[in-house]
Structures are given as C-alpha cells and as structure tokens.
Amino acid sequence: MSDIRLKTVDEIELMRAAGRIVAEVLDGLETMMKPGVRLADLDRFAEEIIRGHGATPSFKGYPNAHDPDSPFPASICSSMNDVIVHGIPNGQILEEGDILGVDCGAILDGWHGDSARTYRVGQCGPEASALLRTTSEALDKGIAALEAGKPLGRVGHAIQQHAEANGYAVVREFVGHGVGRNLHEAPKVANFGSADSGPIVEVGLTIAIEPMVNVGTIHTKADPDGWTIRTADGSLSAHYEHTVAVTEAGPEILTLA
C-alpha cells in the first residue's frame, strides 16, 4: 500500500466532520424529491448547506480529464433514471416515478467527505424499487467485507456477488476510490472481482465505496456534455456511496449525520 496514505485517528475525525455535512445535504434532499422540482434547485440547496457550514463543494470546478475547458459546473451530480453517474443538474424537472442518484462531496478544513444516494420520486414501480434496494444492500455488504489484514478485493467481490445474484449488472468502467485530502486518492476500489485481489487493508485506510448497478447491460455511453454517463441500453441504474474508514474496531462510515 505504498501509494496509499493512511489516516490518523485525528484525521479520520476531520473527515467525519466533512462527511456529516454531506449527510445533512443528502438527508435534506430526501424531502425535496417530488414531481415538479427542478434539479437546479436541488443543486442550489446542496451548495447553500455546504457553504453554510464553512465548507466547499468538492465537485464544483472539478477538472474534466478529457476537456480542461469543461470543469464540472455544479455542487452535486444528479443522475436520473438511465444515468449512471456525473449527471449535471440543469433545467431538468422531476416526474412521478423517476429515480435520481445524487452524489455529493464537501471539503472542510482540507478534508473531503463523499457520499451518494438514489431516491424515489413519488411512487416507483417494482423494477426501480428492487434495483434501489439491491444496490443499497450491496453497499452494506461491501462495507462489511472491509477488514484490516484482508485483501481489499473482498469489498468488490461482495458487491458483485449480491448484485448479480439478484439479476443485475455491475458497472466496470467506474469504481470507488481512496479519499482524504484529495477527492480521489489511491487505491481504486472496484465493485467486482476476486476476493483475494488488491492490497491488504490496513487500519487508517479511508475509501469511498460506491456500487453502480444496472438493470440491463454493464456497458455505458457518454453524453456530449463530457460528463454524463448513461447505460448503453437505456436501462435504469442506481448508485449508493459512503466514505468509510478502517479503524481498530472495524469499518466506520464517516458520511452519516
């Protein structure tokens, strides 16, 4: 784990403070997920909460690896229905039965918190409800598999096993990551693969675990905006994420209110 920066107990507490802000945003958005709401209004709400705590949105202005002139323009990623990740909250309006994945990050005192949740808008059909439930469960299983002294690959293996056992496809092209003073650090945290792969987990590791699960194909396609990533077949996708620290007592979620 030579490229991985382990965190001290005090640093983990600083990350937890950032994580609480993100959790407050995601909890607050729950009450706003109603037909007729504009995604831009969700973004405005999130930025006000983040800045109100003296923090900075992690995503706003984040550089685009493929186009340096197109940094991410918003404080949240808003990914509706067939959008997997990195959707931009513009003038889109929520409709009854939509699902919306929201990814949010905040920087407080130089430390990041990063979390995502997929919401129902009004009454969703059984297909969407089952997808959200399974993806949330997959995140829980991935967190539970994170253990000091064991390979990191156990996390992705647990996620993949649960998603595929329920008939879903796990996205391969986008994965979780280390997090700390930078939003994206080593190591990469796949949502698939062999349980005995990857580095051996150590106390002080802080990572964002984030399963992205599709009803249909694993394949993706990008919108012309250079950010939005969709399922290639137009099927529904869900995304859940927590920032997690490995402590002497086991894995601890840092992105809870």
Q: What type of residue sits at position 187? A: P
pLDDT at 3 over 60: yes
Mean pLDDT of 89-100: 97
Residue 221 lies in a domain: yes
pLDDT at 6 over 70: yes
At 91, list the tokens: 């003038």
What CATH code is carried by the domain that includes residue 180? 3.90.230.10
Return d(Cα 238, Cα 116) in angstroms, integer.
Answer: 10
Residue 4 lies in a domain: no
Residue 198 lies in a domain: yes
Residue 95 lies in a domain: yes
pLDDT tens per residue across span 207-256: 999 999 999 999 999 999 999 999 999 999 999 999 999 999 999 999 99
Return d(Cα 88, Cα 229) in angstroms, integer.
Answer: 10
Instruction: Label residue 66 by pLDDT band (50, 70, 90).
Output: confident
**4 CB-near residues (< 8 Å, 6+ apart):** 178, 185, 186, 187, 199, 202, 205
Number of domains in the chain: 1
Residue 2 lies in a domain: no
pLDDT at 96 over 80: yes
Residue 3 lies in a domain: no
Mean pLDDT lowest for which of 61-70, 123-132, 227-236? 61-70
Task: Enter the DSSP assignment of 6.
Answer: -
Residue 1 lies in a domain: no
% of the chain residues with pLDDT over 90: 97
Instruction: Tell me the residue range of the domain where 179 lies.
Output: 9-253
Residue 110 lies in a domain: yes
Cβ-count burial of 169 within 10 angstroms (0-12 exposed, 13-18 middle, 19+ buried)?
buried
At 107, list the tokens: 């920087």
What is the structure's pLDDT at 172? 97
Instruction: Label residue 2 by pLDDT band (50, 70, 90).
Output: low
Q: What type of residue sits at position 7? A: K
What is the structure's pLDDT at 183? 98
> If you average pLDDT over every residue of the chain, what do you get?
97
Task: Enter the DSSP assignment of 82.
Answer: T
